[in-house]
Structures are given as structure tokens and as C-alpha cells.
Amino acid sequence: GRLPEGKTLRSEKLRPRKKLPPLLVPAEERRPEPLHWFGTSFGLTKELLGFWARAGLRAVYLRQTATDLTGEHTAVLLRELHPASVEEGPAPGWVSAFARDAQRRFLELLGFGFGHLEVSTALAVVEAQAGRLARGGAR
């Protein structure tokens, strides 16, 4: 709120305020927020990619250059959720559109930024982006 007339920030006396709601409440007292998506980000390995792809997540972003610290490419995977209670949210299939775009970019860059990946890792990326691992395809 505002300061009383004639007062300045320098002259205001700080004191605990009364009747403020708590900043935190016990989780059991709050209804969970509806979620539109679930995601993860990690340094790309075929083992981690396979784990998350089998859980139904799709690769939507792969960093073209490897990180200096680990030498791995950063991967971002998402899974679209369909909560019945959410009225407003992204259009169905939005994750698939991002995954298709990421797959197209990955395939175009296989001879460049991703050219040093092991063949098995590159194939795992293509299969994960196509959603094949989630359906029990190659592992």
C-alpha cells in the first residue's frame, strides 16, 4: 500500500504487519494445479534418451553444440498431459509439432553439428523423436 501522508520511505518504521495471509500452506490444504505438460532436460546419452522416451516423452530440442563441461548435447523432452479439469490450454498435438520440427532440424544437422554422435545415439534420437520408443520399438 501507500505510505501515510507526510511520511517517506526513510521515515517509515518497519514493523510486522497484522492480518497477512501465510506465504506457505500445507500441501494437503491446496488443490493441485492442473498441468499441461511434463518435461525433462539432460545431457544427451542414448540410455537417458531411451529411459525418458519409453516414459512417453518426445525430444523437442537438441542443442547443436556440446557443452564445454560435459561434452554432451543438451536435450529437452516433453510429454503432453490431458487433464480433464483444464479448460484453457495448448491445442492437442502441440508437442508432436515441436518434435517433428526438432527431428527435421536434427536430420539436417547430422552432417554438421551432430556429425560426431555415435550412430546408435543418432538412431536413438530419430526413434525417440518419432515416438517409436514410447510404443515399444527399438531400444
The length of the chain, given as a count of residues: 139
Residue 8 has what pLDDT?
79
Identify the segments of the chain with pLDDT beneath 50: 137-139
Cell reading at 20: 497477512
- Residues 111, 52: Cα–Cα separation, whole Å: 25
- Domain layout of the chain by residue ranges: 34-135
Q: Determine the angle formed by the axes of helices 94-108 and 119-130, rounding to 10 degrees.
A: 150
pTM: 0.74
The confidence score (pLDDT) of residue 111 equals 92
pLDDT at 139: 39
pLDDT at 138: 42
d(CA 122, CA 106): 9
Residue pair 125/49 in contact by the 8 Å Cβ criterion: yes
